[in-house]
Amino acid sequence: MFTSLITINRTLTTAARCKRRVVVTGMGVVCPLGVGTQNAWQSLIDSKSGITKLTDQEYDKLPCKVAAFVPKKETDPDGLDMNSYFTKSELRTMCPATVYALIATEEALEDAKWKPTDETHKRDTGVAVGIGMIDLVDVCTTYEAMKKGYNKVSPYFVPRILPNMAAGNISIKYGFRGPNHSVSTACATGAHAIGDAFRFIRGGETSVMVCGGAEACISPLAIAAFCRLRALSTSKNDFPYEASRPFDKDRDGFVMGEGAAILVLEELNHALERKANIYAEVLGYGLSGDAAHLTAPSEDGTGAILAMDRAVKDAGIETVDITFINAHATSTPLGDAIELKAIESFMGQHSKNVTVSSTKGAHGHLLGAAGNLEAVFTILAIKNGIIPPTLNLHNLDTETLLNFAPNTKKIWSASERIALKNAFGFGGTNACLCFGQYNE
């Protein structure tokens, strides 16, 4: 068991917190486990994997040859066909991440039954959707095109590479005139977007927010760059389903993934008045900075502890109320160990009552869309009383009081289900979201 190096002051709880409650009323998913929220969730709890081998010749000389793509219609009957959603001219104006975000948004709004036509309602609906990293293929292709002549540069090149264009396109498509916000904080992007949207509603700036993140940057250059950082898994190229191994002693790096997940957050009374379905309540949000290193977390877990502590304080609960943590855990040797150290330091003796899981074993690491996709799975865990499994966890390399869900789902029997969702990014940026069952 680890002892925290931080003395946490719990006297500053929620005195200044606005009492407007925020709930989740809609969700949409496009990810390596499937298209559609229920498809992805069912694949996850059935212990399926969306990670495949990179077979294109461009990847032959790279150390990593695995990734997690959104399944496409050409190879999967239930896969995604972008052409069924958009015309070819529309697709030329958007990067794939924006396309994923728009498709997931349509599902989320349909799920929430919220497509207002009234101008007042449109003005009371905002968007907070981020992209963690631009598609490097766009940049390289455009640079090569420019060598042939200025006129070969697409007029849509800039809109395709701006990280706020997913949010912009969503706002434009549905006429939402509330806050139009985008955050790009590496692998914490999706969680920060949800947290910021939560604060917009709680603070009274708007009643509804469409929020989340999107990512689609798998390419030979991106794989090569992360390999140079020694961040990717390279030991399971012939066994892609085994490549992402959160917490397992044989883990050797993360697997790049792509996709989008969008949530509709809503002020409680607004949701009740229109009799919306409520999945869960957003209870709190915490942020912190490691102030330590460009790519590595602080060794004592300071940043993670501070983010979790601030989320719990913001929620006005105690650590003993939390029984599930959806970890950031990407399958890197350093990161997973430090996160477990931080969680146990923060939870103390209550650790024996907490189950930790990382769903990245099934869908890889979606970078800027990781925190939001995993937030969706955390919310569905709360709704269904099922903790999703951590695939490929066979040998834990840490002595800990914490519990796990190795390889198969676990029934979550707590009388009141409250969970934390961690998300951490390069540059030492951290986010933690607190979700709970909705209780009147």
User: What are the phi and psi torsion angles at 72 (to 5°)?
Assistant: -105, 155
Q: How far apart are CA 189 and CA 296, in angstroms?
A: 17
Select which of 64, 95, 187, 432 is catalytic.
187
Residue 187 falls in the annotated catalytic set: yes
Q: How far apart are CA 283 and CA 183, in angstroms?
A: 21
Please give the angle made by the CA atoms of 32, 114 and 270, to the nearest 5 degrees.
Answer: 120
Strand ranges in 79-154 using DSSP code E only, listed in sequence order:
125-131
- Whether the CB-CB separation of 191 and 130 falls below 8 Å is answered with no
Q: Which residues contact 357 (CB under 8 A, 6 or more apart)?
A: 324, 325, 326, 327, 387, 388, 389, 390, 404, 405, 410
Select which of 217, 328, 363, 432 is catalytic.
328
**DSSP conformation letters of 202-245:** HTTS-SEEEEEEEE---SHHHHHHHHHTT-B--TTTT-GGGS--
Select which of 181, 192, 363, 365 is catalytic.
365
Residue 31 falls in the annotated catalytic set: no
Residue 328 falls in the annotated catalytic set: yes
C-alpha torsion angle, residues 257, 234, 76, 217 (rounded to 10): 30
Task: Name which of 366, 365, 361, 363 is nearest 393 in CA terms.
Answer: 361
Give the active site residues: 187, 328, 365
